[in-house]
Amino acid sequence: MLSGIGNADDLKKLGIPVVCHLPGVGQNLQDHLEIYIQQACTRPITLHSAQKPLRKVCIGLEWLWKFTGEGATAHLETGGFIRSQPGVPHPDIQFHFLPSQVIDHGRVPTQQEAYQVHVGPMRGTSVGWLKLRSANPQDHPVIQPNYLSTETDIEDFRLCVKLTREIFAQEALAPFRGKELQPGSHIQSDKEIDAFVRAKADSAYHPSCTCKMGQPSDPTAVVDPQTRVLGVENLRVVDASIMPSMVSGNLNAPTIMIAEKAADIIKGQPALWDKDVPVYKPRTLATQR
């Protein structure tokens, strides 16, 4: 076992022999945290009506028959990235718009016609860890993400709420805009917004960085730039855990890219690269937009 998922002494107490001591294993846990800002919709055009039994059957039959209709989409096609404030050099807040109301990760049916935005910072500064609970591989590990443990992350979430409210207040949404359902118009001060975020923030399911890539001289590195586990022969890690830090977006495409790059390394293929790839630069750092 690689130590680090709990230190070497912890593993020995669990009766697990330590093959290679890599303190970085299980450390440096990073994830995207997000909140839902929800607005009532004044027209019956959201997914609320799709919950009715007959409507569900019709949606399913249309998809099975023609691969079209409401069942042919995840309904999260609309999104975007913005800079949270002046001085930020790259977009650091992500939005996903959904024409529905999500409650408890979708385990609770929607209560009314509504729409919402999933919003959260892309480069959170809170860092957590995980370790083994026992020697039984069926037992869940101990995971401590340390969400919102830095003042930077708390301030970024305040901006997430305020900027989302600004977007929802735009004239284009006026024909559909009902009352704010979450956090609610009574939540206004920074202290109230902070309490709302702590009560309602959820993982965006982007855990990563617990087997970070780095040079052998880095005591926290777990794999080298060729994805090989340091100090262990014939073992690689090829997934989101080898990211040294969180990416500014969803993990799916970057993880596919990591896998394709690792496959080329293993096969000895030359590196692929393009010349003069444009990199985003804001028109000015002095303003947020």
Catalytic annotation, residues: 206
Rounded CA gap, 192 and 198, in Å? 10
Which residues, including other chains, have CB under 8 Å from residue 72's CB and lie 6 or more apart? Answer: 63
Rounded CA gap, 152 and 133, in Å? 31
Closest by CA position to 27, among listed 127, 125, 122, 126: 127
Q: What residue type is 169 in one-letter code?
A: A
Which residues, including other chains, have CB under 8 Å from residue 149's CB and lie 6 or more apart? Answer: 126, 127
Rounded CA gap, 124 and 148, in Å? 8
Phi, psi angle pair for 125, to nearest 5°: -105, -5
Residue with tokens 């919709």: 41
CA atoms 142, 250, 257, 214: torsion sign: negative
| DSSP element (H, E) containing 97 | strand 93-98
Q: What is the dihedral of CA 58, 64, 66, 70, to 10 degrees?
A: 50
